[in-house]
Each structure stands twice: as C-alpha cells, then as structure tokens.
Amino acid sequence: MRALGIDGYRKGWVAVWIDDAGRRGFNLIPNIRALAAPDKGMTMIDMPIGLPDSGYRGCDLAARKLLRQAASRVFLGLRRPLLGYLGDYAAANAWAKSDGKGLAKQSFAILPKIAEIDAIMSPERQSHFRESHPELVFQRLNGGEALPSKHLSEGLEARREILAASGFDEIDAWLATLRGTGAKADDLLDACVLAVAAHEALHGHARRVACPERRDAKGLRMEIWF
C-alpha cells in the first residue's frame, strides 16, 4: 500500500507517494479523480474536508493554537454555502459577511478545489483519505517549533532539511522538473511532508488535532491529522 501526500497548485494537484519498500515519487495530476485508487493505503491532503453551514470549524481554531505565532497559516471561515458561489467573489464575500465574517480572496481561490474534494468524499472514505496541514507536520518534525514562512528562502531551506532527514534525497531533481508546470517549490515540499504524515499513519502513528468531534451536513468529520 502507498502513502500519499497531496497539495493543490494552480493547474491541479501535486501528489507525492511513499510505498511499503520506502520508494518515493511524485506526479502532477489534473484532478483528484485522476488518482488510481484513492481509497487504498493512506492519503493526507492539504484541503478542508467537512464544512460547517455557519461559523468556524473547531479543528481550525485548535490548529491555530498549536501553531501559535504561525496561527494565520490556517484559514478560517470556510463554510459549505460558499460552494454555491464558485467564480463570484463579490457574491461569496457578501454571503460570508451576512454570516458574520467576510471571505479572504485567498480562501475564495481554493473553493473550487474544496468542491472537488467534497464531491468524492464520504464518511467511510475519510478513514483513508484525511485532511492534514503541512505547517502542523513541519512544526512537529521540527521539535514543536514553527518554521519561517515558506515564502522566504530560509523557510524553504529549513523545510528541505527536514525532508532530507525524513528520507527525501530526490528533492533537487524533483524541483528541477517543476519548471514550466505552474507548480511551485513550496507546493512540492508541502506534498512531501504530507506523504510523511500519511506513511506514519499507515503504520499506526496517526496524530489528530485535539478538538470535540463535529460532523457537517454530509456526515463528514471536521478534523485535521498531522
């Protein structure tokens, strides 16, 4: 069975895998349905799974507390009714404000990807296809200390060092193949660390952000693994 780490980019998804023999690889895929067998093995994805009809998700608030000074790296205010406003930021933001909190453009930009995941997700599938957050995984692997922003050179270098210590020797070669694809270095690094978390979970070392269990209107658990 394979462990998969998936992170979104402008044209699709970066999927990094680790198999039972420790071999590693990555692919750029156009959509989640392009995965050969998303129910097998373990998948960790950096995208919300399970959306409230209103208000904040408890798992997001708990994740922010864990990240402390890097709390803003976890988005807030993503709600299920917003999926009805894909492609119309003004309308989405107006609805969000009517619900108590406006919608950041960065959050609006990922709504199509959230909808893509939501279309294939079920409570049963969540046992093998889980929401994660790369910043939480990197922080854990860094001894509990948050890393510099991934948008800074020192932040990227710190992440590469952590991944090298986790067995990723191919990063330089992989990064070279990204040129012209639209995927960025941080997209690949995030997918790599999610694959690490998925591999650990597949072998009995799963960690979940501590918060009361809550399900959305589809019965999906709102939870974050790391």
**Terminal Cα-to-Cα distance of the chain (whole angstroms):** 19
Q: Which DSSP helix (H) or strand (E) runs through 131?
A: strand 129-131
Report the alpha-carbon distance of residue 107 to residue 78 in Å, rounded. Answer: 7
The residue written with tokens 């070279």 in the block is 176
Q: What is the DSSP string of 66-104?
A: HHGGGGGGS-----GGGGGGTT-HHHHHHHHHHTTS---
**Residue 124 per-residue DSSP state:** T
Mean pLDDT for 97-105 is: 94
For residue 94, give both structure tokens.
């107006």
> Hey, where are the domains in the chain?
3-47+126-202
CA distance 156 to 20: 28
SS3 159: helix
Of 3, 33, 1, the closest CA to residue 192 belongs to 3
The predicted structure's pLDDT at residue 220: 98
Report the pLDDT value the prediction gives residue 111, as an integer from 0 to 100: 97
pLDDT class for 40, splitting at 50, 70, 90? confident
Distance, CA of 57 to CA of 12 (rounded, Å): 25
| pLDDT score for 69 | 87
* Predicted local confidence at residue 36, as pLDDT: 63
The residues near 164 (Cβ < 8 Å, ≥ 6 apart) are 171
Q: Are 93 and 85 in contact (CB under 8 A)?
A: no
On average, the pLDDT of the chain sits at 95
